[in-house]
Amino acid sequence: MKVRLRIQRFNPEKDRKPWWGEYEVEAEPVDRVLDALHYVKWYIDGTLTLRRSCAHGICGSDAMRINGRNRLACKVLVREAMEEGRGVITVQPLLGLPVIKDLVVDMEPFFANYRKVLPYLINDDPPPERERLQTPEERERYDDTTKCILCAACTTSCPSFWANREYIGPAAIVQAHRFIFDSRDQGATERLRVLNEWFGVWRCRTIFNCVEACPRGINITRAIEEVKLAILTGRLA
Amino acid sequence: MNVHRHPFDAVVVGAGGAGLMAALYASKHVKTAVLSKLYPTRSHTGTAQGGIAAPLGNMEEDRPEWYAYDTVKGGDWLVDQDAAELMAYESIEVIIELEHMGLPFDRTPDGKIAQRRFGGHTRNFGEAPVMRSCHSADRTGHMILQTLYQQCIKQNVIFFDEFFVTDLILEDGTVRGVVAIEIATGDIHVFHSKAVLFATGGAGRIYKVTSNAHSLTGDGMAIVWRKGLPLEDMEFFQFHPTGIYKLGILLSEAARGEGAVLINDKGERFMERYAPTLKDLASRDVISRAIYMEIREGRGIGGKDYVYLDFRPETINRFKSAPGGMEVTAEYLERKLPDIIEFVRVYLGIDPMREPVPIQPTAHYAMGGIPTDVDGRAIRDEHNTPVPGLYAAGEVACVSVHGANRLGTNSLVDLVVFGRRAGRHMAEYCRQADFAPLPPEPEAFTVEMVERIRNGTGKERAPILRNELQDTMQTHVSVFREASGLETAIDKIRELQERYRHIRIDDKGYRFNTDLLEAIELGFLLDVAEATAFSALNRTESRGAHYREDYPKRDDDNWLKHTLIWRQDGKVTFAYKPVVITKWPPKERKY
Ligand SMILES: Cc1cc2nc3c(=O)[nH]c(=O)nc-3n(C[C@H](O)[C@H](O)[C@H](O)COP(=O)(O)OP(=O)(O)OC[C@H]3O[C@@H](n4cnc5c(N)ncnc54)[C@H](O)[C@@H]3O)c2cc1C
Ligand code: SF4
Ligand code: FES
């Protein structure tokens, strides 16, 4: 099938402002939007710049705005995107992070927020000889938030983040949740303190964009609510 | 073009499982930099699905010797048995260490790490499948990568993210550092160091249908080979039996570990004929060949070039009373295999709980690579002479614990066991070694290469050459091989190398120039393909993943040895290294 793409282009080395590149490519209906972008890059204009690696939705490299919604280019089929965009697929970089070139944004502010929540297991007890025990129920408690691939689709879809770039953002809260509710972890107090600060969870207005955006299907709003509740009650129910 | 210099005791190139594990250990003792062309969490380790082996015995009796034996047999006796035994024993403590780091393994009802069956892993030297694969649903690699990265953050490991390494600085046989391009700016960075560890992963992109990421272009192997050092056992490339038809996206063996079966056009579970004991859990090379045999004999689905992987609960339950059979529900499978079920739904638009899934073998894993000893030290010849300061670990390396065919779950074990050993050894080495001086203009090679490509005005285009390479390798250097096909492939690779000198790219800028990087990666791919095709032509026997139709038998008298391949002045040369055999003399491999 013929696929039409409108891609937001911007190379600060030579462009004064962003512009729209329009391309027509030949694709199979079951091709991914990533395949269509590759087609442009490989056979039409090699200067088109994007990040990608795994091509099947696991590495988190290619989060971008497709038809106005944050998604992984490798996880949307052109057929669906064409229907949705009524015959043209619109592709833009994520909002709220500085554009380095075309679809590539500067991820450093995102990772800086991630690092703030102490995203690692904290347990100062001497470890046992074998594995620490954890029941399947305890393991299930934080399963959802272990799936995060740090793609930034959620954080950059959040109006609270657009309004204030200091907001730590849903992804960092998801990461904090993954440890706070892990029965082996002892760092909850410290993480909850961070998340209770002015740039923390209270900036979440429960708008649900993040849940919509998450390619891993994580129920982000629920995770955020659980963190808020833990701060309010002091309990990890 | 700006050039920067940084002194570090040790440099780790690559931030997948192997690189991060090595970095955790090295950085405890010496000043260590980790350079990665991807953000660490984008590394392909994150896509590993099914599990990581260790004979923990949490579900049923298991022993390290059984595991070591399975590894040796899986590798068709080309495995160095001392290394396999070491890996089997150390796997236990490393898995426990990962758990202590926070890795969220699935659990047994009594709270231990859960384990499942996997191809080629057996109890009591081949008697029946054993539950040895520790896992976290079908996202084990994701959890390993995340956990190791988290520990690196905790430990303040120094990262240079999106730095693309182009060259190793090696003078008079000792390591002096590496040269890298900072992707965001195009600046050149020279890292002056006492030691360098390559953990750059695989090279699956030499093939057309592959489970490997676009970024897996064999960079580390090619960089080292260009320095006149050897690569080992490059003829052994694993084709995983179950890639999604045409796309190559992997559907883990974990599916078959949970009971899924392969079905041909006649509805037969054909693996019963090829591997009567382990059937669908035989080793990968055996199954990939069986699939192609079925296809050749017209029993592909609708006579086409694919078969079905069937993991509908009713199919699995139909075989429940066969040895190793399972009884499952759709709900159970959705919990154990959530990601691969989703891949099928997203990319094929079918529901694997209701329909069988079209699959074909997909290029998956390089058994060969930079030869190392069990401490990750790269070696320069068949006498195991180490190259001072040079290390390798993970898929880029060849220890060799995988021999002619890797068992499922054994790469992840390899990453953490040998990543750790290499990191430790490198730290020790750095503590006693001095900085060797840098040569004048260590960046010259990179600057020249980059400018040549950037300013190239020829008519050749990298994407076209890459397609031609991938087609050639897929046709002539895949599951079945024979001399004339391999010769055709070699001629084609030579032609492509020549045409590569005349490429032109569109992007002439410095900032985030992926047009340039892809062109450099193509150069690496061509070299790795060259080493692979020449090694395959050279080995006139069939063993593990290397199947020569013109030499269909394993030939222990002449070929029970590792291949080392060099390139000097455009010509390849070979030497051979004996296989280390401690306990298990070669015998016929049957599953
Ligand atoms: C889909 C899939 C499923 C798998 N499932 C399993 C499984 O269940 N069990 C198992 O044991 N094995 C599995 N494997 C195999 C295993 O995952 C890989 O072999 C292993 O993860 C490789 O790890 P690594 O650390 O060597 O390299 P990778 O994780 O691939 O990392 C390579 C690193 O090198 C960096 N790099 C590469 N080139 C350069 C350069 N020029 N400059 C700077 N940095 C560079 C990259 O940025 C990256 O950080 C699977 C593989 C695939 C593809
Ligand atoms: S929570 Fe989901 S959307 Fe947000 S970073 Fe993680 S995977 Fe991406
Ligand atoms: S390329 Fe890895 S998530 Fe899309």
Q: How confident is the model at residue A29 (pLDDT cuts 50, 70, 90)?
A: confident
Taking a C-beta distance cutoff of 8 angstroms, is the pair B564, B382 a contact? yes
CB contact under 8 A, A77 and B346: yes
Output b/e per residue, A208-219; b: 16+ Cβ within 10 A: ebbbebbbbebe
Distance CA B210, CA B214 (A): 9
pLDDT of A30: 87
Tokens matching residue B330: 């759709």
Distance CA B150, CA B135 (A): 19
Tokens matching residue B456: 């190239």
Distance CA B247, CA B209 (A): 7
Mind listing the pLDDT tens digit for each residue in B474-485?
999 999 999 999
Sequence-ordered list of residues with C-beta below 8 angstroms from that of B299, at least 6 positions apart, any chain: B264, B265, B266, B268, B270, B307
Tokens matching residue B486: 């391999």
Amino acid (1-letter code) at residue B398:
C
Pocket test for ligand 3, best of A32, A53, A71, A103 (most atoms within 8 A of CB): A53
> Is B462 exposed, middle or buried, given 0-12, 13-18 or 19+ CB atoms closer than 10 A?
buried
- Provide φ and ψ at B392, rounded to 5°: -150, 150
Q: Which of B106, B346, B461 sits opposite A139 (nearest CB)?
A: B106
Active site residue B176: no
Please identify, by atom number, the ligand 3 atom nearest to the C-alpha of residue A59.
2
Taking a C-beta distance cutoff of 8 angstroms, is the pair A67, A90 a contact? yes
Helices marked H in B436-482: 444-454, 462-476
Q: Which residues pair with B357 in a beta bridge?
A: B309
Taking a C-beta distance cutoff of 8 angstroms, is the pair B265, B299 a contact? yes
Which helix (H) or strand (E) segment is B89 a member of?
A: helix B81-101
CA atoms within 13 A on the CB side of B75: 35
pLDDT of A18: 98
pTM above 0.80, yes or no: yes
Domains in chain A and their CATH numbers?
Answer: 2-105 (3.10.20.30), 108-233 (1.10.1060.10)
Distance CA A65, CA A73 (A): 9
Sequence-ordered list of residues with C-beta below 8 angstroms from that of B296, at least 6 positions apart, any chain: none
The Cα of B217 is separated from the nearest Cα of chain A by a number of Å equal to 11
For range A79-97, the mean pLDDT: 97
The tens-digit pLDDT sequence of chain B (591 residues) is 799 999 999 999 999 999 999 999 999 999 999 999 999 999 999 999 989 999 999 999 999 999 999 999 999 999 999 999 999 999 999 999 999 999 999 999 999 999 999 999 999 999 999 999 999 999 999 999 999 999 999 999 999 999 999 999 999 999 999 999 999 999 999 999 999 999 999 999 999 999 999 999 999 999 999 999 999 999 999 999 999 999 999 999 989 989 999 999 999 999 999 999 999 999 999 999 999 999 999 999 999 999 999 999 999 999 998 877 889 999 999 999 999 999 999 999 999 999 999 999 999 999 999 999 999 999 999 999 999 999 999 999 999 999 999 999 999 999 999 999 999 999 999 999 999 999 999 999 999 999 999 999 999 999 999 999 999 999 999 999 999 999 999 999 999 999 999 999 999 999 999 999 999 999 999 999 999 999 999 999 999 999 999 999 999 999 999 999 999 999 999 999 999 999 999 999 988
Residue showing tokens 């020790």:
B428
pLDDT of B55: 98
Distance CA B349, CA A80 (A): 11
Mind listing the pLDDT tens digit for each residue in B282-340?
999 999 999 999 999 999 999 999 999 999 999 999 999 887 788 999 999 999 999 99
Ligand 2 pocket check for A97: Cβ under 6 Å? no
CA atoms within 13 A on the CB side of A126: 1
Q: Does A14 touch chain B (CB under 8 A)?
A: yes
Which helix (H) or strand (E) segment is A65 a member of?
A: strand A63-66
Sequence-ordered list of residues with C-beta below 8 angstroms from that of B55, at least 6 positions apart, any chain: B62, B63, B64, B66, B67, B88, B91, B92, B132
Q: Does A126 touch chain B (CB under 8 A)?
A: no
pLDDT of A234: 86
Q: Which residues pair with B565 in a beta bridge?
A: B231, B574
Nearest to B262 by CA among B298, B297, B300: B300
Distance CA B585, CA B63 (A): 20
Kind of pairing, strands B3-13 and B188-198?
parallel
Amino acid (1-letter code) at residue B22:
A
Taking a C-beta distance cutoff of 8 angstroms, is the pair B532, B548 a contact? no
The Cα of A223 is separated from the nearest Cα of chain B by a number of Å equal to 17
Which helix (H) or strand (E) segment is B389 a member of?
A: strand B386-392
Q: Does B334 touch chain A (CB under 8 A)?
A: no
Distance B40 CA to ligand 2 centre (A): 16
Distance CA B108, CA B116 (A): 11
pLDDT of B1: 77
Distance CA B447, CA B110 (A): 59
Task: Kindly report whether the peptide bond that precedes residue B400 is cis, defined as omega within 30 degrees of 0.
Answer: yes
Across chain A, what does the average pLDDT equal?
A: 96
Is a pLDDT exceeding 70 seen at residue A237?
A: no
The Cα-based distances of B500 to A44, A61, A204, B443 in angstroms read 19, 28, 53, 22
Is a pLDDT exceeding 90 seen at residue A235?
A: no
Enter the ipTM.
Answer: 0.98
Taking a C-beta distance cutoff of 8 angstroms, is the pair B174, B436 a contact? yes
